[in-house]
Structures are given as structure tokens and as C-alpha cells.
Amino acid sequence: MSRTDVLDREVAGALSELSAAAKRGLGDPALAELVVVRASQLNHCAFCLDMHLAIARKHGVSERQLDLLAAWEEAEGVYDERERTALALTEAVTVLTDRQVPDGVYEKAAQHFDDRELAHLIGLVVAINNWNRVMVSRRVAPGEYTP
Amino acid sequence: MTTEETVPHAPEHPPRLAWAQHAPEVYKAMLRLDTAARRGLEPRLLELVKIRASQLNHCAFCLDMHSKDALAAGESVERIIQLGAWEESQHFYTEKEVAALALTDAVTVLTDGFVPDEVYERAAKHFEEAELTQLIAAITVINAWNRFGVTCRMVPGHYEAGKHQ
């Protein structure tokens, strides 16, 4: 099953534009993929993990960063402060049903990203959460994506 | 005069971030996505789904907007209130609405598990393929608005029904 079968064409186009606009505004493709892979882990989206791990490698994200991503908080020295604040924000924005986005998490991210970057980073997390929900709901199989 | 009338409410908080101003292209894509995802869905059903997802994601801004839009669309106060416990008040809703609400819960609370087969199949029984596709899209889109609303701490209370429809 491909993407076009699980979404109306107009919906798929708008969602693709949402992801693209967020990535353009963030302007950091490697960080974008780290964030997208982490959200896909939390949402258990096999299709999205398969796809974005491939894209992350293409953008030069290291194997070590990808291997340890599920335990990034404990992986000292593997991610810089900017990446860590982005990952913490990604988790807070993704796991919304348990709690609000804590002030500490938001404020730390705001120290490393200006308002424009932050708005696009949030947009990116929102967009991948949207893809995750579509792909998990329709049980789209991993392995169909080729970079 | 009652105590309730004389004691002032807690102060209103400011928003954290005017995200739409800082990311206008992202906002434009969201509007386009919202318009595309609502096509083919019955407006009252759509508002029930949006309110339910906003409850689960604790989005105050979205609850303000969609409860007002639901009321304006002719929805009853008691059906809106009972959404918080819809599993126990299924007789307030049609079988089709119940199937949509169950799917909304499953797609929204994704970090705890997958979308169960029985929930998906119940929805597939009540919604034909194209409508189901739109329903899933609509559930994901209100989840998207919820994430912006909560993360950017958008302020509830100022929405007027129909403003964003």
C-alpha cells in the first residue's frame, strides 16, 4: 500500500507541503531527521522509521546517533546541547496525552532556537506526528520507501 | 450576589509563541490540510471528533473553538459534555459516531499502543473507504492543531463561532 492509497490526494499534498515548509524553515536537515526519527519511535511507526532512518543516513546523521536515539537522554557526548533540547521538545510535543509541554523543556529549546526556528521545529514535530498517525492507522508496511 | 460572581478568576496567561507569524508557510499548509481533510465529513461528526481529540490532548484553545463551533452547528450541550466519558454514554450517540470516537481515541493516544484491529474494523463497518480515509485524516489534523495549541500555549476564550470555518 502506498501513501496515495491511504490519503486523499489533496490531503497528501497539503501534508507534504506542511513537512516541506517546516523543514525549509528549520534549515538543518540532519537535526530534522533526528527529530522525525525520535517522534516515529515514540509513535511506533514502522513505515516512518524505515523511511526516515534512510533519509537521516543520507543527510550524514551518524550511525551512533541513530543507534542511541531511543536512549538519547542517557547517551552523554553523543548529542550536542541544541540537539538535546530539540529532542526533549519533540518528546513533549509528541506525548501530549500524559501532560502539557513543560516550561523547562520549552524554555531550554527557546535558548537554542530563535522564534522562527522554534516555530518551524514545532511544525516539523507536528507534521511527523501527523504522518505517524496516518501510517499506523492504515498499517502501511515498512520497506516500500527508497531514498 | 454569589461568591462566584465577586471572586475574580485567575489571570489569563500570555501565549508562548506566535507560531503562525513566525512560520507563515507552515500555517498556510495547515489551513490547506484542514480544508482538505474535512471534505466529505458531516460537520457535526467532525466537531465531535475534534472536541474529543482536544480533550485527550488537553488543548484549551481547541476546546474553546470546537465546542463553540459545535454549538453553532446545532450540537447539544449534553452531547458535548458527555464526550469526556463517551464509552459510558454511548446512547447519546449514533453507532457511527461511537465508531468514530473510538477511532479518534486510538489514533490520538498512539504512544501507548497501536490502533487495535477491533476499533479499526468497527470504523470500517460504518464508514465506506473514502469517508474512512477522510475521517482518519481529520483525526490526525486536529491532533496537529492540538500540538500547536498546547506547545505554543494558545489562549482560549476569545474565539467566536464560525471564525475559522
A96 touching chain B per CB within 8 A: yes
- What is the nearest CA distance from B92 to chain A, expressed in angstroms? 25
Examine the pLDDT at A137 and tell me if it is beyond 90.
yes
- Whether the CB of B54 is below 8 Å from some CB of chain A: the reply is no
Q: Look at residue A147 and tell me if it is in a domain.
A: no
Where would I find the H helices in A45-140? Answer: 46-58, 63-67, 81-94, 103-112, 115-137
A146 in any annotated domain? no
Alpha-carbon torsion A134, A139, A141, A142, what sign?
A: positive
**Residue A145 falls inside a structural domain:** no
What number is the average pLDDT over the span A96-118? 96
In a domain, A144, yes or no: no
Decide if A142 is inside a domain. no
Number of domains comprising chain A: 1
Does A92 lie at the interface with B, CB-CB under 8 angstroms? yes
Query: Cβ of B133 and A137 within 8 Å?
Result: no
Please determine, for the modelled complex, whether the ipTM score is greater than 0.85.
yes
Q: Tell me the whole-structure pTM to 2 decimals.
A: 0.94
CATH architecture, domain defined by B43-159: Up-down Bundle (1.20)
CATH of residue A12's domain is: 1.20.1290.10
Which triple of cell numbers denotes residue A101?
A: 509541554
- Residue A133 domain-assigned (yes or no): yes
- Whether residue A70 lies inside any domain: the answer is yes
CB contact under 8 A, B111 and A138: no
For the cut 70, the answer to whether the pLDDT of residue A4 exceeds it is no
A-chain CB neighbours of B18 within 8 Å are: 115
Shortest CA gap A11–chain B (Å): 5
Q: How far is A36 from chain B (nearest CA, A)?
A: 15
Asked if residue B29 lies in contact with residue A14, where contact means CB atoms within 8 angstroms, the answer is yes
Report the distance separating Cα B44 and Cα B38, nearest Å.
Answer: 11
- Confidence tier at A143 by pLDDT (50, 70, 90): confident
What pLDDT digit, counting tens, does each position of B29-49 carry?
A: 999 999 999 999 999 999 999
Q: What is the Cα gyration radius of chain A?
A: 15
Read off the pLDDT band of A1 (50, 70, 90): very low
Write down the domain spans for chain B: 43-159
For chain B, positions 78-107, list CB contacts with chain A under 8 A: 103, 106-107
pLDDT tens digits for A46-84?
Answer: 999 999 999 999 999 999 999 999 999 999 999 999 999
A110 lies in which domain range? 3-137
* Closest of A132, A128, A142, A133 to residue A1, by C-alpha: A142
- What's residue B94's pLDDT? 98
Quick one: average pLDDT of A91-109? 95
Q: Which residues of chain B have pLDDT under 50?
A: none
pLDDT at B112: 84
